[in-house]
Amino acid sequence: MDAVEERRAGRERSVAPVIRRPRRGDGLELARAAFLAGERVEMAAIAAQLDISQATIYRWFGSRERLLEQVIDAIAREFIAATRAETRGEGDERVLDFVRRFMEVTVTLEPVRAFVAREPQLALRLLLGEAGVVRRTLREALADVIAESRPAEQARALDDELDVLVEVGVALEWATFAIGDRPQIDHAIHIMRVMLAAHGGTTDERKRA
């Protein structure tokens, strides 16, 4: 090794490793990993993994409930995007195909099933809460699909019914599961079909309803 190489090697050995301070996103990723593993998400455990105080975790997220809400919302957005890419049909049949596909894939997601079974009251509050982030995300996704599937005037006819449509879907998927019953996906689709037909649906859909 010549003198130049020796100096270069010496400099490389002397460089200290860069240790990044934990960030809010790190806490969210750890919470997501625990949730997807079917584990109970605990603020204290996340703080310990990041070697920070619990006060910092609470400053980042406010509460365990708000942290869980963000985790579930992020997962919901991923499934919404995947479902929209696979949705087929035209008009209201496209809307119903989107809803059915989304319900069928999410109801089989074991981490969500474990969460609803373990903490049903909290889970339903996060999924159904009127001012909740998850409900708003579902409402926006449904509104987007309806806007893509209906003429503008017919889409606007459903503006006041979007929350009811979301409530029907979530309740018949997860509230039924929480009490030990089988999720009623077909029943939810039937109710939504009737509601769509009553608010500007096509003649064929009205006959089916």
Note the pLDDT of residue 91: 95
Mean model confidence pLDDT for the chain: 90
Question: Does 1 reside within a domain?
Answer: no
Q: What whole-number distance in Å separates Cα of residue 17 and Cα of residue 92?
A: 57
Note the pLDDT of residue 200: 80
Closest C-alpha to 126, from 84, 90, 160, 76 = 76
Q: What is the arithmetic mean of pLDDT over 177-186?
A: 95
The DSSP code for 40 is: P
Environment class of 123 (CB within 10 Å of its CB; exposed 0-12, middle 13-18, buried 19+): buried
Q: Which of 62, 94, 111 is the last residue of a domain?
A: 62
Count CA atoms within 13 Å of residue 43 on its CB side: 16
Residue 209 C-alpha from the chain's centroid:
30
**112 pLDDT higher than 50:** yes
Domain match, 95 and 185 both: yes
Q: What whole-number distance in Å separates Cα of residue 35 and Cα of residue 116?
A: 12
Q: What whole-number distance in Å separates Cα of residue 198 and Cα of residue 182?
A: 28
Note the pLDDT of residue 194: 96
Domain match, 174 and 80 both: yes
C-alpha angle 125-130-132 in degrees, rounded to nearest 5: 65
User: The tokens of 181 are what?
Assistant: 């019953």
Note the pLDDT of residue 209: 44
Note the pLDDT of residue 204: 52
Number of domains in the chain: 2
**185 pLDDT higher than 80:** yes
Q: For residues 116 and 15, which has the higher predicted lDDT (pLDDT)?
A: 116
Containing structural domain, residue 167: 64-208
**Confidence tier at 16 by pLDDT (50, 70, 90):** low
Ranges 70-74, 146-150, 181-185, 199-203: which has the least confidence: 199-203
Residues 6+ apart with CB under 8 A from 55: none
Question: Does 7 reside within a domain?
Answer: no
Question: Does 8 reside within a domain?
Answer: no
Q: What whole-number distance in Å separates Cα of residue 19 and Cα of residue 17?
A: 6
Q: Are 145 and 98 in contact (CB under 8 A)?
A: yes
pLDDT digit string, tens, across residues 19-35: 678 999 999 999 999 99
Identify residue 154 by its one-letter amino acid code. Answer: Q
pLDDT digit string, tens, across residues 122-169: 999 999 998 899 999 999 999 999 999 999 999 999 999 999 999 999
